Every structure is written in C-alpha cells, then in structure tokens.
Amino acid sequence: MHVNNVIWKTSPLIVHAPGLQHSKEKNFIHMSFNPYWIPIIKNWEQESPILCRKETKDELTIITWNSSGIKGYCEQSLERLGLDYFCLGKNIKKWCFLDKITTVLDIIDSIKTPYVMALDCFDVIILRDPFEAVEKFKKMNCDMLFNGEKNYHPDFGLMATGNYAITDRWKKYEISLAESEWKFLNAGALIAKTKSYKEFLIKCLERHDAIKKNPESFPLPHDPVYKKYPDYKISNDDQLISHWMHHDYHPGIMIDYKMEIFFNTIHTALDKRKLIIQDSLFTGYAALKYRIEVNTLGIFLKTYLTLLKVRIMPVIVKNFFKKRFK
C-alpha cells in the first residue's frame, strides 16, 4: 500500500496517528485531528498480506510497548508482515512515558542487528516491508531519524501558558531547521543505528534526572494535571526530552521532513494536492460521506483552536509588560 506525498514525491511506509486509542473511543475527535487514518486503515484491511524479505530480520530489530492485553495496530501489522518484534512493558501496571526509555535499556545489549526501529503500539501501522526504511535510512547522514509532525508537543511555553519556558527555545530551533510543514519532532516513531540509540537513551535518563531535580532552572512549570494521565510528570515525558536531545545533537538526530519513511497524520487535512492514497479502495458514497464529516469537524476544530489562542493572549500581554517594567 502506498501513501504518496505529492510535494516531495515520496511514499512513507510507516503511518503514525498520535493520540489514537486502542479502544477506538473518541473516533469522532480523531476524525478531526487524524483524518487520513481511517482511509488508510480501510485500505490496509482489504489488502492481501505480504511477507518480508530475509534481509529485514538480519538488518533491523523492531521495538514497541504495550502494557495492556489488547494488541495495537503496530503489533497487528508486524505480525501480518511475518516479522518478529520486541513488545515491552507487559508487566508494568502503572505505565509512564519514561518506561519507553528504561525498558529498552534493559534489552538493548541483546540486540544484534545494526539498526533498530521504535514505534508506538496503538497508533502506528507499518504498510510495507521495513527493509525499505533501512535502505532509505542508510543513505541519510544521521544516526537517528524521528517522524515529523505539524504540532509542537509538549509545549509549556509562551503560546500555551503565557510564560516563557525552555520548550520555546527548542521549538524555535526546530522551526529554524524545518524543510516542510511537518517540522516538529515526534518521539512515537523512529529509526536509528543500534549503538546510537543506546547512547541516546542513556543521555535521555541524564536529562530526566536534571529536570526532576530542578525544573525551575529550565524554566518549566509545575506538573500539569491531565485526566487521561493522572500520574503525568514533566520529567518523565520522553517526547520533551527528545526535543532537548535533538536541539543538542542535530544533525546526528534528524526529523523526517519529507516523509521518506514516516507519515505523522496529526493536524494534516485531507488534501489531494499534498497527499494521496494510491489506488484507494475507500471510494464511493462512504468516502464522500467521510470527507464531508471531516471537513465539517475541521471547521469546528479551527474555531476551537482560534478561541484557545484568543484566550491566552491577555496572559501573554500581561506577562510581557510585567517583565518589561519590573
């Protein structure tokens, strides 16, 4: 199956739809944020399974995480391709994002392949033989490649809270390097040289300790309260730490701006001038109805995001004058 980026003439083989729930709850919301996901899944479900070449297993180890008893799309697609993989976190009852770092460090010395791919479990799908990704990655002048998204997350800075934070610095840096609208790092899908990935994880733990011990020095706010993640800690956020690592170690760590390997669907509107699903089986009335629903939801989403910006502006202005005339 091919999703073609018309702008860059590329065809990513790994699709990441951040925030998608394995229980399929809130599909209505994700139609707004990830409208390409459902058409891709519809096509994937109808395609005949393919097997991967032998070189894939010799060159690449694939890692995912799942602390539940339900298989995610990543696991399903890997098994459909006939590939073995590490699924970490099975015995962790109270999962946190830092576990994505520590669980891999527990097993990485047992990995014998020169390359490793780390993918979120429930919101990632592999469309074709990952050996294609290895071949593409070998031609890139970097040690790690992350998928790129249109939204900066987590953002604890000026536009999100009204106060400056270290995330503003990392965000500005990523904008300065961007080669497309998919300009920001997302930690949910990556490919790396195995040795480099181990070094990356060790340095991530060092940064976790630095944030945990002294968050005010960055500066970063107090831990926010999320209903979905009641035990969330800023210092445990692997994506926040990955932004920091990219800032310090680019160009060794890079972002897949042109969708050579990864397609991150978040905030990417249906637009055939940019992205098309080749020989799509999702057609007719069902496809038309879906497009109308997505476009309608998109209007509400844009309005909602605009209102959020309007709401935060007085705080930004207040803090500006407060610092200016302090």
Predicted confidence (pLDDT) at residue 253 exceeds the cutoff of 80: yes
Confidence at 308, pLDDT banded by 50, 70, 90: low
pLDDT at 79: 95
Average confidence (pLDDT) over 79-83: 94
How far apart (Å, rounded) are the C-alpha atoms in residues 127 and 11?
A: 10
pLDDT classification of 149: cutoffs 50, 70, 90: very high
pLDDT in tens, 182-222: 999 999 999 999 999 999 999 999 999 999 988 888 888 88
Tell me the pLDDT of the chain averaged across its residues. Answer: 89
Instruction: Evaluate if residue 313 carries a pLDDT over 70.
Output: no
Token couple for 177: 């390097």
Range picked from 152-156, 250-254, 295-299, 320-324 for highest mean pLDDT: 250-254
Higher pLDDT, 144 or 20: 144
pLDDT at 310 over 80: no
Q: Which amino acid is at 314?
A: P
pLDDT surpassing 90 at residue 83:
yes
For range 252-264, the mean pLDDT: 98
Give tens-digit pLDDT for 108-137.
Answer: 999 999 999 999 999 999 999 999 999 999
From the list 62, 63, 70, the residue with the least C-alpha distance to 99 is: 63
Q: What is the pLDDT of residue 228?
A: 67
Predicted pLDDT at 283: 82
3-state SS record for the chain: CCEEECCCCECCCEEECCCCCCCCCCHHHHHHHCCCHHHHHHHHHHCCCCCCCHHHHHHEEEEEECCCCCCCHHHHHHHHCCCCCEEECCCCCCCCCCHHHHHHHHHHHHCCCCEEEEECCCCEEECCCCHHHHHHHHCCCCCEEEEEECCCCCCCCHHHHCCCCHHHHHHHHHHHHCCCCCCEEEEEEEEEEHHHHHHHHHHHHHHHHHHHHCHHHCCCCCCCCCCCCCCCCHHHCHHHHHHHHHHHHCCCEEEECCCCCEEECCCCCCCCCCEEECCCCCCHHHHHHHHHHHHHHHHHHHHHHHHHHHHHHHHHHHHHHHHHCC
Q: Among residues of the chain, what percentage have pLDDT more than 90?
A: 63
Asked whether the CA dihedral 251, 245, 104, 185 is positive or negative, the reply is negative
Identify the band that residue 299 occupies on the pLDDT scale cut at 50, 70 and 90.
Answer: confident
Answer with the residue of higher pLDDT: 291 or 18.
Answer: 18
